[in-house]
Structure 1
Amino acid sequence: MSACPVSDAFPFPGSSYHGPAPHYARLRTEQPVVRVRTAGGVDAWLVTRYEDVRAALADPRLSRAETCRPGAPRIGGSMTTTPEMIISLDGAEHTRLRKLVVGAFTTRRVERMRPGVQKVADELLDDMADRGGPVDLVQRLTVPLPLTVIGELLGVPREDLRQFETHARAFATVDDRAGGAESLAGLAKLNEYIVGLIADKRAEPTGDMLSDLIAARDHDDRLSEQELVTFGFTLIGAGFDTTANQLANSVLALVAGHRDQWRALVEDPGRIPDAVEELLRHVNLFATDTSGFPRMAVEDLEIGGVRIAAGEPVLLSLASANRDPSVFDDPDRLDLSRGRNPHISFGHGIHYCLGKQLGRMEMEIALAGLVRRFPDLRLAVPESELPWHTGEINHTLTSLPVTWGA
């Protein structure tokens, strides 16, 4: 690597859903681009300032595909991917696959989905009300809402959703310290399931996105069979786990640590769209404080005045960038009335999240339903007793017991 001393071992201690590790504040000021020794034993460059992270996300000299090639260095805390996944591709191949589905996630088309999403949310909230508190919000709302929505978008039968959830969450909540065995097992189960689902939809198309992709494969030969299978489970897996975690962590932040902000939403639900943007910025999703998807330099470049040599891995801390005081006033404060909010929680550049509008809408509908139906929502157990998944990708609540009323 380029001549520069290695900083502390990465990931840094102290990261939580409340925010990135405290070490990032010093790095942004003193060493905004720094070498770190990762949990996988590989040295990498860590980028921490907003301006640098945003520019790097859009820089074609930083490759996702190179990190997935055979023999590429394994960086601890990075998401398990395969070379065929859209998040693993660069350039023309990425563009070709993205064009096949981008039309399904336009703002206009997502808005047409709003009544259906609202119906699913209302049914889940009705069930919560009928049961009475305490209930597990993860089990009753934050997982089934995005899971059902993405399942209906892609034509997954409702009776299969719970089975699919088990495999998809095992894949998404990889724990590198266990060798990734659970994640790989989930990936295998997802692959098996999607192969069967594709066979069913090839025999009897149902007008959903997966049926459209099959038609593209069979009629225009734009997808290989493996691409079709991989794209199917990538979209379904990515379509609910991130939203489920973000929603659960956001509700926890409001009802446990920021009751004043929760009460403000109860009094004025019209503030919820702005609140969602601030929660996306402030609530830290990533356990390593990075996106979980490293890049590899394919040619020499500079980031923040530091020379990165071709072949060196680069980690981009979205969580740190979202707390950069040069962009956000008082960045460590959760302020649901914050105006300008150019957070990069959905990324930037060619891998900018396709489902950003759908994720926003689901969060808006879920929060609006909760503040309207359960204005005195609160934790049913001390926050210190909440169970968290111990993997190295997301801060994932495995249960969120809440209650309301007397």
Structure 2
Amino acid sequence: MATGDEFPLPGSSYRGPAPHFARFRAGQPVVRLPAAGGGHAWLVTRYDDVRAVLDDHRFSRAASYAPEAPRFPGLFQAPPGMIISLDAPEHTRLRTLAAQAFSVQRIEAMRPRIRQLVDELADRADAEAVSAPVDLLGRFTFPLSLTVIAELLGVPHEDQERFSVWIRRFAAVDGPQDEAIAAREQLGEYMAGLVMSKTAEPGDDVLSALVRARIGDDRLDTGELIGLGYTLLGAGADSTACHLASSVLTLLAHHRDVWVRLGSHPEEVPAAVEELLRWVSLSTNDTTGLPRIALQDVEIAGVTIPAGDAVFVSITSANRDEAVFTSPDELDFARGGEHLAFGHGIHACLGALLARIELVTALEELTRRFPAARLAVPEQELRWQQADMNHRLAALPVDLHGKDF
């Protein structure tokens, strides 16, 4: 089964997974690869097989923290005890408690505030666009997602800039380890203080609701509250900002006709957002980045994965599966079908609805207000952060009114 390839695979970009994945889907949908740094990993690349692994309790997230579990230097691994690091029944308990606070009703109630933030950030960008191109990543996408999740958690406005720095350092998988550790400790200390303040004086925010959440006499302890705060803040701020920036880049660089059309047909934006969620590649290694350990020998697509081996599922590859999506490498803004951008199974993204609201609201406003927008530099001159778990632009300079400066 040797392929000559090594995991993580080179060649991934925001425009799609490494080219190896199409070859794997065609001939080796469940493939064993040597891993950089030693050992090996299994990659699962087809849509149906990815869903099967994500649904199968025999593939354990919690077991990846055992002393004997394989290690993958350079890949982000969430701290143990977080909701994304647990299996049932521990995960079920945390998810049930978290759902009481992160409810559909609470997220839907955020729509007016998200609209207000989008309008305010667009106003600011519009004012700056008079004299120079605007960095939409630094001035729009990241401030939007960070402010939304920080307000949901009840983080004071004056602390949000510090959070921004800590999150970036914590998520930098290839950056200085001392900075990542320090950022994690600073986030933990801050979240602990925030939990204490919400416990003493609850407010109308998600963290306060998490403090109040109950299943009978059961409640979240301080460590669990801190871990959920980590999860919501990190995933809610960084992933949404990166995806929105890459979506804007995709439209401006390759589909300006769609950008213009969406500006006058906002009813088409939700479908466009779903196709961009399918097509835009978020993860820098084309997988969820979080290993699962086979608790026993398990057969997937006719291949037996031995007990104790690590498995990575490629949602990016699954979303390009030819058996599910016609012409999957093409953007089809009228496409239907169920993508896996938010995962599947017990670990499906808790914040999917929030992300969708932010993405739709932002694209509605940006395309409506700035129909003449264009990249301020050639796409090949854009810089990407190399040491990051997500495909993240260093900046996205845009001439919002199509001017020549």
Please give the TM-score of this superposition, normalised by the length of structure 2.
0.94
- 1:116 corresponds, among 113, 124, 128, to 113
What residue is the counterpart of 1:398 in the other structure? 394
SS in 1 for 2:235: helix
**Structure 1 residue 368 corresponds to structure 2 residue 364:** yes
- C-alpha deviation, 1:45, in angstroms: 0.7
Is the 8 Å Cα contact of residues 31 and 44 (structure 2) preserved in structure 1?
yes
What residue is the counterpart of 1:36 in the other structure? 33
- C-alpha deviation, 1:58, in angstroms: 0.9
**Structure 1 residue 45 corresponds to structure 2 residue 42:** yes
**Structure 1 residue 254 corresponds to structure 2 residue 251:** yes
- C-alpha deviation, 1:41, in angstroms: 1.9
Is the 8 Å Cα contact of residues 62 and 80 (structure 2) preserved in structure 1?
yes
Is the 8 Å Cα contact of residues 105 and 357 (structure 1) preserved in structure 2?
no
Range moving further from structure 2, 104-113 or 137-146:
104-113
Q: Which residue identity lines up with residue 140 of structure 1 in the other structure?
A: R
- 1:195 corresponds, among 192, 195, 198, to 192
CA distance, structure 1, for counterparts of residue 27 and residue 388 of structure 2: 26
Q: 1:318 to 1:181 in 2, by over 3 A?
A: farther
**Structure 1 residue 237 corresponds to structure 2 residue 234:** yes
Is the 8 Å Cα contact of residues 77 and 292 (structure 1) preserved in structure 2?
no
What residue is the counterpart of 1:154 in the other structure? 153
What residue is the counterpart of 2:134 in the other structure? 135
CA distance, structure 1, for counterparts of residue 217 and residue 306 of structure 2: 40
CA distance, structure 2, for counterparts of residue 35 and residue 374 of structure 1: 47
- C-alpha deviation, 1:71, in angstroms: 4.2
- 1:99 corresponds, among 93, 96, 105, to 96
- C-alpha deviation, 1:265, in angstroms: 1.5
- C-alpha deviation, 1:387, in angstroms: 1.7
- C-alpha deviation, 1:220, in angstroms: 4.3
SS in 2 for 1:55: helix
Equivalent positions of 1:316-355 (< 5 A) are 316-338=313-335, 340-355=336-351
Q: Which residue identity lines up with residue 155 of structure 1 in the other structure?
A: G
Range moving further from structure 2, 319-328 or 95-104:
95-104
CA distance, structure 2, for counterparts of residue 121 and residue 138 of structure 1: 13
Q: 1:10 to 1:348 in 2, by over 3 A?
A: same
Is the 8 Å Cα contact of residues 136 and 396 (structure 2) preserved in structure 1?
yes
Q: Deviations over 1:54-89 (max 9, x none)?
A: 111111100000112334221245323121100000
**Structure 1 residue 209 corresponds to structure 2 residue 206:** yes
| Percent sequence identity over aligned pairs | 54
- C-alpha deviation, 1:377, in angstroms: 1.2
- C-alpha deviation, 1:200, in angstroms: 2.3
CA distance, structure 2, for counterparts of residue 105 and residue 214 of structure 1: 12
**Structure 1 residue 315 corresponds to structure 2 residue 312:** yes
SS in 2 for 1:274: helix
What residue is the counterpart of 2:21 in the other structure? 24
Q: 1:148 to 1:179 in 2, by over 3 A?
A: closer
Q: Which residue identity lines up with residue 394 of structure 2 in the other structure?
A: T
Is the 8 Å Cα contact of residues 110 and 358 (structure 1) preserved in structure 2?
yes
SS in 2 for 1:91: coil
- 1:182 corresponds, among 175, 179, 183, to 179
CA distance, structure 1, for counterparts of residue 10 and residue 269 of structure 2: 32
Q: 1:109 to 1:201 in 2, by over 3 A?
A: closer
**Structure 1 residue 89 corresponds to structure 2 residue 86:** yes
What residue is the counterpart of 1:295 in the other structure? 292
Q: Which residue identity lines up with residue 301 of structure 1 in the other structure?
A: V
Q: 1:99 to 1:209 in 2, by over 3 A?
A: same
Q: Which residue identity lines up with residue 5 of structure 1 in the other structure?
A: A
- Root-mean-square deviation (Å): 1.8
CA distance, structure 1, for counterparts of residue 388 and residue 301 of structure 2: 27
- C-alpha deviation, 1:307, in angstroms: 0.3
Q: Deviations over 1:315-355 (max 9, x none)?
A: 111111100111001100011121x2211010000000010
CA distance, structure 2, for counterparts of residue 392 and residue 241 of structure 1: 10
SS in 2 for 1:45: strand
SS in 2 for 1:307: strand
Q: Which residue identity lines up with residue 381 of structure 1 in the other structure?
A: V
CA distance, structure 2, for counterparts of residue 28 and residue 76 of structure 1: 26
- Show structure 1 runs of 5+ residues with no match: none
Is the 8 Å Cα contact of residues 50 and 327 (structure 1) preserved in structure 2?
yes
What residue is the counterpart of 1:144 in the other structure? 143
- C-alpha deviation, 1:15, in angstroms: 0.8
CA distance, structure 1, for counterparts of residue 343 and residue 74 of structure 2: 18
What residue is the counterpart of 2:62 in the other structure? 65
Please give the TM-score of this superposition, normalised by the length of structure 1.
0.94
What residue is the counterpart of 1:164 in the other structure? 163
Q: Which residue identity lines up with residue 250 of structure 2 in the other structure?
A: A
